[in-house]
Amino acid sequence: MGSSKTKKRTKEQQRRDTMQAYGVMVGFFAFILVAAVYFMFFRNTEKPKTEPADVPQTVTRETETVKLGGSSETENSVSETTTTVRTEEVSAQPVDTNSPGEIPGHKLEVKNGITYVDGIMIVNKTYSLPSDYNPGLDPEAEAAFNSMASQAWGEGISLFICSGFRPYQEQERLYNMYVYERGEEEADRVSSRPGHSEHQSGLSMDINTTEFSFAGTPEAVWLADHCADYGFIIRFPLGKESITGYAYEPWHIRYVGVEAAKAIEEQGVCLEEYLGVTSDYRYAEDMN
């Protein structure tokens, strides 16, 4: 009996050993197959090249190559690496005009809490005025408006100031009213926080109305076409909302002087672009 059990156990053991051997062989061949497929189809696939962010780029326009950065000659024979791409695919990095700090090519001065860039006072979401700044309507700006209104009247256009100088406290009440009625986000789109309103500068005026229906009227068209001749700009022009930080206001003019107004008009830019500054409350350093 013992001998029979031993033989039976031996046969069962042999069967298990055989099955294990088959399993090992199948696994081995499967591994070989997977490895072969990997080396045939994936191993030699060339990985896309990624240029470091600080490698200067070149832009190819037909047969001409224009360098956007770097130098053809460097000390110690440092080699350059460039990437040639199609013109339509180029996304050159512009100067970041939405970052506070130094303004390349412009002179920034702060006097008594008031910021001037190239001699032009700048008041917006980034740059504020002290709460006690209370100059009233600027005489030069007022005289320029009177001349403009006189010329417009002679051409059948009636222009008048419906809102001129506005002190800090009045702007504070106005802004808080907008926040109460419309919420802070909408208030920031159509009104200025106290200290950030150009009306407090005495250099800005709302002409005839503050209703959006003013856009496209003969008065609005005449104002846009002629205000630069008298030193004014449409302060918040259409299409520049993301830069000025405010909705289009065809009635809001700002006095900057004839030379600057003409340059801004010819360049098709807003005041922020002309001076290279930001208009964003995130960067504000209020003087109050």
In a domain, 166, yes or no: yes
Least confident of 35-44, 49-58, 269-278: 49-58
Mean pLDDT of 11-35: 68
**What mean pLDDT do residues 260-269 have?**
98
pLDDT of residue 50: 40
Task: Please tell me what DSSP assigns to residue 65.
Answer: E
Q: Report the pLDDT value the prediction gives residue 56, as an integer from 0 to 100.
A: 35
Judge whether 213 lies within some domain. yes
pLDDT band at 104 (very low <50, low <70, confident <90, very high): confident
**CA-based torsion, 52, 57, 61, 63: positive or negative:** negative
Same domain, 155 and 257: yes
| CATH number (domain holding residue 253) | 3.30.1380.10
Locate 218 and state its tokens.
């003969």
Asked if residue 269 and residue 142 are part of one domain, the reply reads: yes
One domain for residues 7 and 73: no
Measured between alpha carbons, how far is 169 from 288 in angstroms, rounded to an integer?
Answer: 12
Number of structural domains the chain divides into = 3
**Is 90 exposed, middle or buried (CB count within 10 Å of its CB: 0-12, 13-18, 19+)?**
middle
Residue-wise pLDDT tens digits, 113-152: 999 999 999 999 999 999 999 999 999 999 999 999 999 9
Same structural domain, 177 and 218: yes
pLDDT band of residue 10 (cuts 50, 70, 90) is low
Query: Which tens digits make up the pLDDT trace of 155-182?
Result: 999 999 999 999 999 999 999 999 999 9
Please write the tens of the pLDDT for every residue from 197-235: 999 999 999 999 999 999 999 999 999 999 999 999 999
- State the pTM of this model: 0.65
Do 193 and 82 share a structural domain?
no
218-226 vs 139-154: helix axis angle to the nearest 10?
120
**Domain of 266, in residue numbers:** 108-283
Q: Are residues 5 and 36 in the same domain?
A: yes
What is the residue whose two structure tokens read 């002190």? Answer: 167
> Are residues 33 and 124 both part of a single domain?
no
Q: Which of 188, 202, 200, 159 has the alpha carbon at shortest distance from 288?
A: 200
